[in-house]
Amino acid sequence: MSKSKVSRREFLKRSGAGSIAITSIGSGLAYGRSESHQASRLDRHAMIASIGDTLIPTDPGDPGYKSLEQHKITEEVMKKLDGISDDDLEAFNQGSTEFFEGRTFLQLAPSHRADYLLLIIDGSKISDKNRLKVLQKVYRQTRTRVFTVFYQNYPENVIPRDQAGVPILKQRDKHQITNPNTNDLVTGWDISGFKAQMTWQEEEECRTKFQKLWRR
């Protein structure tokens, strides 16, 4: 959990006073990783995982992106991030040093990672427009991919199929229920209340409820 008392709105307001103010906010709030940790140029996984965790935070009793790391969500996200090069990610990682006491994105506390994303979205404090373009590209493309994968219900988004593409039914399934979502873990569908395909019981309840409206 973040120890910062500074809201994101306040952060942007304060950042208007210049980078010195930012630095003072960040002082003493280094979080998590070792000071000596530097993102490898090839450590794409750590970068994407950290951005994913910032985009969809995980809190006690409120699962998020990080909760699905055990199901390799970052590997899934990275399958379609070809538009972001290692150099882009490196620029993204190093870009925070200017504003957060020399700390890279990976070295920042979660709340300051969020602040960094807001800084990138706002854009006004980053004078090098080419650099801003790269940072915004990393943010936007990763956001798109993370939200898409997460809210398309990873990892319970795949229906097992035979070689001909026909869904394989669960044993003893009499009603061809192929909804891949389960109660075993909290996914994007669960968080957003998306019910997907009906259960047989739900179907029967609906038939009972609506039968009086059926026109022959």
Partner 1 sequence: MQTQKNYDVIIIGSGVGGSILAAHLAAKGVNPKNGEQLRIAMLEAGPYWKGEPRPGYGIPSRRQLITNVFSDDAPERMWPWGMVKMVGGTTMHYGASVYLPYSVDYKHWVDEGTDWTEDACRGAAAEVEKIYNIHTEPDEVLSKGCLMFRDAARALGREVHSAQVARRNCIYCGFCEGGYFCRYDSKMNAMTTYIPLAEKHGVDIIPNATVDRVIIEKRGARPTATGVAFQQGGAMVELKAPNIIVSAGVIGTPRLLFMSGYGSKEELGAKLIVENNNIGKHLDIHAAIIVHAYFDEVIKDGSRGAAPAGYFFLDDAGPNAYGRLRIKDSGMIGVDEPWGLAFSPFAPAFGREHKQFMKQARMHRGGTLVVLKKPEGYRGYINLRTSQMEYEGNEIIVKRLREGGEMSREVLQKMGAKKIVGYDMPPIYHIAHGISTCKAGSDPKVSVVNPNFESHDVSGLFICDGSVVPRSSSGDAVGPIATVCVLAAQRITANHFRK
Amino acid in the structure at residue 45: H
Q: Which of 22, 55, 108, 134 binds partner 1 (CB under 8 A)?
A: 55
Q: Which of 151, 155, 185, 186 binds partner 1 (CB under 8 A)?
A: 151
- DSSP state, residue 198: P
Given its phi and psi angles, is residue 154 left (phi above 0), alpha (psi -120 to 50 degrees) or beta?
beta
Amino acid in the structure at residue 78: M
Q: Which of 131, 141, 147, 155 binds partner 1 (CB under 8 A)?
A: 147
Contact between 158 and partner 1 per CB under 8 A: yes
- For residue 143, what are the CA distances in angstroms to 35, 51, 149, 158, 172? 27, 8, 10, 22, 40
Give the shortest CB-35-to-partner 1 separation in angstroms: 25
Closest Cα partner for 63 from 148, 184, 144, 211?
Answer: 184
Q: Which is nearer to partner 1, 35 or 82 (CB)?
A: 82
Contact between 114 and partner 1 per CB under 8 A: yes
Contact between 1 and partner 1 per CB under 8 A: no
Size of the site for partner 1 (CB under 8 A): 52
Amino acid in the structure at residue 117: L
**Structure-block tokens of residue 155:** 């990892």
Binding site for partner 1 (CB under 8 A): 8, 54-57, 59, 62, 64, 79-80, 114, 117-118, 121, 143-144, 147-148, 150-152, 157-159, 161, 165-167, 169, 175-176, 178-180, 188-189, 191-198, 203, 206-207, 210-211, 213-215
